[in-house]
Structure 1
Amino acid sequence: MDSETKKALLQGKLEHGLYKVGDGGLCKLSALASSPTSSTCLLHSCNSNKSSLWHCRLGHPSISIVNKVLSSCRLPYEVNSHVCSVCQMAKSHRLPFALSESRASAPLHLVHSDCAPQAGINGARYFALFVDDFYRFSWLYLLHSKDQLLSAFIQFKTMAEKQLESPIKILQTDGGGEFQAVDNLLTAHGIIHRVSCPYTSQQNGRVERKHRHVVETGLPLLAQSSMHMVFWPFAFQSVVYLINRLPTSTLANISPYEILYKQVPQYNLLRVFGCACFPCLRPFNANKLAYRSALSTFLGYDTKYKGYLCLNMQT
């Protein structure tokens, strides 16, 4: 009986202390179920030999397991192809993502970007990566806060479009809130903002893999030099500098630098990160008796000046 309407839902004949419900009553019970799939297995006839019923009886294993069990026990059963909705609801999982082999047809037609947190020296707490899909060239910007992502993108856009002589057409990012700040700018310049689905970082895989590459190469640089983790901004900037100059199988074993600038990188100018160095300090001396150099630590390559970054250990 329905507790709200007080109407009889099923009727049955009392036999030996139990109510016997006919087939018509079972059909009514099926119609009253909250979900058509919730009672599918329960309403099968006890004499049914369909493999779908055995699939329910055995706890929803794969059809190959059901066939193996029934064959080994020599139980009669009827093979029927069906999709178990219960398994779809309870065991659903995403299919593996195929590795994308596509490549943009021209520079800056597609730019991948990602922003990651990491506390470091000089107030840097985040870094933003931009990767051109055509050249596979990477740019790294240090940020004091996520609010600086907009200004970093403006700097990158101005520099990249000027150097590569091509406008940015598509920006691929994840769904991070920091990228919402650039939406108005993208709309104003006609740039398509392509966002990966929630919890699906694989759709932004190109820059995610580049992010991992930077971190997994930057940590060894810090380890070999026994430097504190707060110096990660210098290590990561050096890593991006090196990655852009290393051959990659994606570009037929040619470096992104060579593809972009049409010349081989000057490898003879590279130095070991964290090594001891003695920069010439004579032009900066206040008097003639001051030392002309000081023991320093090599921190990488300056993008503005034609020189190296060195840390004076005495200061």
Structure 2
Amino acid sequence: MAALDGVADKSVTSVTPPIVQSGLAPVTKGELWHPRLGHPGKLVYDKLAKEIGLAKYEPSPYSLCSTCVTAKGQLSKGVISDFKATAPLQLVQVDLCGGFRYEEYVDSKCFLTIRDSYSRYYFVIPLKNKAAATQALINWIHQQENYFSIRGGYKVGTVRTDNGGEFTSNVLHDFFGSKGITHQLTVTHNSSQNGAVERVHRTLQEKMRSLLIGGRVPPYLWSEALRCAAYLLNRLPILSRQGSVPYAQYYGGADGPLRFNNLRTFGCAAFATHGFPNDTCW
């Protein structure tokens, strides 16, 4: 009962408003509540709808939420080759990484990573610029084929790269043609097709930074730490391959047994001794 100017008005009835659960507006269409809740997935929405009494969200193939399709769309990884190399150099994966803000003492700004698919052995080559990658790759192929010429006769069969200009030049194209090498180019913006060599960039850089920081070595010596990181990585067992070691898989004992007694902590103090002319004293 309400009072007006101190006088009770019996014609006015006090009504208690109904309680709306969770303060939700009385709209139950799933198509409306789906965007109101921030476009949750169907399973999440249906669970909430069951608990608070909302209508289910049942989008048909012809009425999918355009916002979800646009905002949550993912790039297809495409077809990944199931080819498995059975010998060194059958499949070589190549990629570039850089540039670094610290200039190396020989002006290197980036590095070329070369992965032997069979052994998972990695080669790293510091470069002054990306344009130098073409000749660096050509030189590497010559060196490796010369090495194996009397150790199994392995030849580079396939080289897989992205579509960078350094890998699509006429110089490299003609070189591959003269050697009978198949050049596989990944689909643009689909790095997963060459993901193995791209993912190792993170591993190499993490190990490189660890060596620099742990050894208190100045950053401009990053290329030395990078070479050391690759050297060590190639000598560590790969758990996903029953503990096989890349060095042993790649060289197969032709380059001598795997040794660790030559290792020293990166950045430790070292002293070089040398002779003097005519054994004079000073």
TM-score normalised by the chain length of structure 1? 0.64
Q: 1:101 Cα shift?
A: 8.6
- The answer to whether the 8 A contact 2:92-2:117 is kept is yes
Count of residues in correspondence between the two structures: 238
Q: 1:113 Cα shift?
A: 0.9
2:108 pairs with 1:115: no
Q: 2:177 aligns with which of 187, 194, 199?
A: 187
2:69 pairs with 1:82: no
- The answer to whether the 8 A contact 2:208-2:226 is kept is yes
- The answer to whether the 8 A contact 2:30-2:54 is kept is no
- The answer to whether the 8 A contact 2:160-2:183 is kept is yes
CA deviations on 1:124-180 (whole Å, 9 max, x unpaired) are 222111110001111121212222212111111112223342222221222322222
Q: 1:169 aligns with which of 143, 149, 157?
A: 157
CA distance in 2, matches of 1:94, 1:125: 31
Alpha-carbon spacing, 1:289–1:260, altered in 2? closer, same or farther (3 Å) = same
Letter aligned with residue 266 of structure 1: R
Task: Give 5+ residue unaligned stretches, structure 2.
Answer: 1-27
Q: Which has the higher contact order (CA 8 A, sep 6+)?
A: 2
2:280 pairs with 1:288: yes
Alpha-carbon spacing, 1:58–1:260, altered in 2? closer, same or farther (3 Å) = closer
Note the 1:91-110 alignment, pairs <5 A: 91-94=72-75, 103-110=84-91
Q: 1:74 Cα shift?
A: 6.0
Moved more, 58-67 or 230-239: 58-67
Q: 1:200 aligns with which of 179, 187, 190?
A: 190
Partner secondary structure for residue 217 of structure 2:
coil
CA distance in 2, matches of 1:160, 1:217: 25
Which residue is 2:220 aligned to? 230
Q: 2:246 aligns with which of 256, 259, 263?
A: 256
Q: 1:61 Cα shift?
A: 5.0
Note the 1:23-172 alignment, pairs <5 A: 54-55=30-31, 58-59=34-35, 61-64=40-43, 67=46, 81-83=60-62, 84=64, 86=66, 87-94=68-75, 103-117=84-98, 118=100, 119-164=103-148, 165-172=153-160
Task: Give 5+ residue unaligned stretches, structure 1.
Answer: 1-50, 291-315
CA distance in 2, matches of 1:75, 1:123: 64
Letter aligned with residue 166 of structure 2: E
Letter aligned with residue 110 of structure 1: L
TM-score normalised by the chain length of structure 2? 0.71
